[in-house]
Amino acid sequence: MKKIVWGVFIQLLIAIALASCASMPREPISEGNLSYLTGKWEGRRYVRQGTFRTEMEIYNDTLPLKGKLIFHEVKRKTGGTYTWEFMQGMIKDSNLYIKRGQNNVELSLHKGDGKMKLEGDLFVEGYEGTITLYKK
């Protein structure tokens, strides 16, 4: 009997954990909802070398989007921070697409429970990985 109760308890804990990790639904980015993107975002980027803090700020709500990405803990840069200013943020396949030279970031918008998240792929300064940012 104790094994059955313990098994039910474990299954309940797993169900609670999975429900709390449920992903926010994706919302296509369009010119009509660019205002969602303005402001400050903070999160992490995940590259082969590890997981590192990353910030983004978007200044305007019209195309092209202008702003900056701040990559913390960059080993190749003095001071460990690399700031990437962008002036040509655009919409590509309903995602936010930022490109400068060989560097690019493509992010999809996710909304739910009053929270917003941008997540996607990045290739910046020779590093390839993923990025997740939350609206501050």
> Rounded to an integer, what distance in angstroms lies between the CA atom of residue 30 and that of residue 19?
29
Q: At a CB cut-off of 8 Å and minimum separation 6, what does 39 contact?
A: 57, 58, 135, 136
Domain 26-135 adopts which CATH fold? Lipocalin (2.40.128)
Q: Where exactly are the structural domains of the chain?
A: 26-135
Task: Tell me the pLDDT tens digit for each residue of 23-34.
Answer: 789 999 999 999
This prediction's pTM: 0.80
Query: Quick one: pLDDT at residue 126?
Result: 82
pLDDT above 50: residue 18: no
